[in-house]
Amino acid sequence: MTTVNDSAAVQVIELYKAFGDLEVLRGIDFEVRRGEVVCVIGPSGSGKSTLLRCVNLLEEPTEGNVYVGGVELTDPDVDIDAARRRIGMVFQQFNLFPHLSVLANVTIAQRKVLRRPAVEADRIARENLARVGLADKVDAYPAQLSGGQQQRVAIARALAMGPEVMLFDEPTSALDPELVGDVLGVMRKLALDGMTMLVVTHEMSFAREVADRVVFMDGGVIVEEGPPSKVIGDPAHERTRRFLSRVLDPAAAEIED
């Protein structure tokens, strides 16, 4: 059995998640160390997004424990709102608040949750918007931005809360191909700044270059994990090899029975 490791930023122990009869996660054990960038890859339906959503308890695990920064989120008595403040999350569909301006999107949780004074919230919002390259869009509304810009605002919104860990759920999957680069660029910079990141992604080049560790999931379990040079460069398992060949060269994939 795995023991609780207080120095881990994220630790997941014996995690199970079922939706009715459908078992999505079947015993996951893994951890993310502070400052580490971990990419989770795997075919759709492998449970990687569910795993990510279990880390901040957007999905309630059926069994198992989740620790973030030494606090057990799966404890029924935990202050979940306080715990989530320390975990930033970026969604595939951005989920910006359409009724608020870019600046208000980034300040609202600072004001209402952290109770920061307006001037301070405003300053922190502008800093983080500058960090993602959108300092000039403070007064725009989400609908006026491209997908790539919206996703970068979403990253700034999460960063403004000063999180210890950032979760990314396929952050570039809903973007037009030419906009993917901007978002990945912001994420790469974030990784270089030492942010602890857990990223579910299909961008193999990003995983190869930025990740400290890659986790390959299939069928609700971790099939293999290790440095990207190993998991992506020289996978040990047949399932990993088959998945990678389909992702890296989709045109050559054969139809399976």
Partner 1 sequence: MTQHAEAAPRLTRRQRRRLILGGEYGIFIIAVVLAASLADWGALKTNFAEWRVAKTVFPDIITVGLRNTLLFTVTGFGLGLITGLVLALMRLSSVPPYRWFALAYIEVFRGLPALLIFIFMGTGIPLAFPGTNLPGGVYGTAAVALGAVSAAYMAETIRAGIQAVPRGQMEAARTLGMSQGRAMRSIIIPQALRIVIPPLTSELVLLFKDSSLVLFLGITLEQRELAKFAQDAASQQGNTTPIIVAAICYLLITIPLSHLARRLEARQKRGQR
**Around Cβ 114, how many Cβ atoms within 10 Å?**
14
Q: How far is the CB of 41 from partner 1 (least distance, A)?
A: 22
Cβ within 8 Å of residue 85, ≥6 positions away: 113, 114, 161, 163
Closest approach, Cβ 107 to partner 1, in A, equals 11
CB of 194 to partner 1, least distance (A): 22
Considering Cα of 95, then 162, then 189, then 245, what sign does the dihedral take?
A: negative
Q: Smaller CB distance to partner 1: residue 129 or 222?
A: 129
Q: With contact defined as beta carbons under 8 Å apart, do 155 and 132 qualify?
A: yes
Instruction: Please classify residue 20 by burial: count the beta carbons closer than 10 Å to its beta carbon, then call 0-12 exposed, 13-18 middle and 19+ buried.
Output: exposed
- 109 vs 244, beta carbon nearer partner 1: 109
Q: Smallest distance, Å, CB 57 to partner 1?
A: 9
Residues 6+ apart with CB under 8 A from 46: 217, 218, 219, 220
Closer to partner 1 by CB, 161 or 214: give it: 161
Kindly tell me which of 100 and 221 has the beta carbon lying closer to partner 1: 100
Least distance (Å) between residue 101 CB and partner 1: 11
In the complex, the residues that contact partner 1 under the rule CB under 8 A are 56, 58, 81-82, 84-85, 87-89, 91, 93, 95-99, 108-109, 112-114, 141, 143, 154, 157-158, 161
Torsion angles phi and psi, residue 18, rounded to 5:
-125, 140
- For partner 1, the closer CB: 54 or 231: 54
Q: In what order do the strands lie in the sheet with 213-218?
A: 87-90, 165-169, 196-200, 37-41, 213-218, 221-226
